[in-house]
Amino acid sequence: MDTSFLKNFSLEGKTAWITGASYGLGLAYAIAFAQSGAKIVFNDINQELVDKGMAEYEKLGIDAFGAVCDVTKEDQVLDFVKKAEAAKGPIDILVNNAGIIKRIPMTEMTVDQWNQVIDVDLTGPFICSKAVLPGMIERKGGKIINACSMMSELGRETVSAYAAAKGGLKMLTKNICSEYGQFNIQCNAIGPGYIATPQTAPLREKQADGSMHPFDRFIRSKTPAQRWGKTEDLMGLAVFLASPASDFINGQVIYIDGGILAYIGQDPGNLDPSKFEDEE
């Protein structure tokens, strides 16, 4: 059987930069890329997080380059790119993963808090993309993957700045496609649903009386898959969007949400908690 087509999914010889990849989804993307043959470079906001990430990569046998870099500071980003490319070669793949959220009612949010979210979640991807695009243009190819969200499509109480930033990031994705597609550069985005991570674990814990956490019940009732996503659910799409297999896909946001955006939901009271007892 001829399997030569599968080479289109290989990242062999490519260098991938994942911002904020010391842990969580960024780390998952980096692991998937490394297993597909890519060299990994990453940054984070402070040395403690970079050291944490490096320790994890070393444990996994991944020879990564990591350094402190604030994605909202253009001088730091340009310096990081220079050092990363000296260490691992020209950046072929950029994943704008670094992000923050502040859950504050809009009328209580200060302008400084608003600006901080916009700066990290929207201006950061602009700065990082701007830093790697010239090299991609020169080499006639590159992949940029933005971390969108269901809040790129939906609103929710207390996340006005986050939703505004992620909605803006969706449109930045489309505009990078529009401006630079002619140079064989593809810019797409991944929109994760609710993912089971250590950070979201408290929202899935059983209550003292043995009942489901109210938010866990809410999410399952709104999701056709009736489960939270796993980091592994995101890895395949990330590799696909970073690989030659996606060379004619551009300007798209692909949601990995178990169907939540396609579904009006059901009455949370109809869920049978016993179905989920064996899940982590």
Q: Is 57 noted as a catalytic residue in this protein?
A: no
Q: Which of 162, 180, 194, 255 is catalytic?
A: 162
Is the CB of residue 98 less than 8 Å from the CB of residue 20? yes
**Distance, CA of 47 to CA of 120 (rounded, Å):** 18
**Distance, CA of 262 to CA of 221 (rounded, Å):** 13
Length of the chain in residues, anyone? Answer: 280
* Catalytic residue ranges: 162
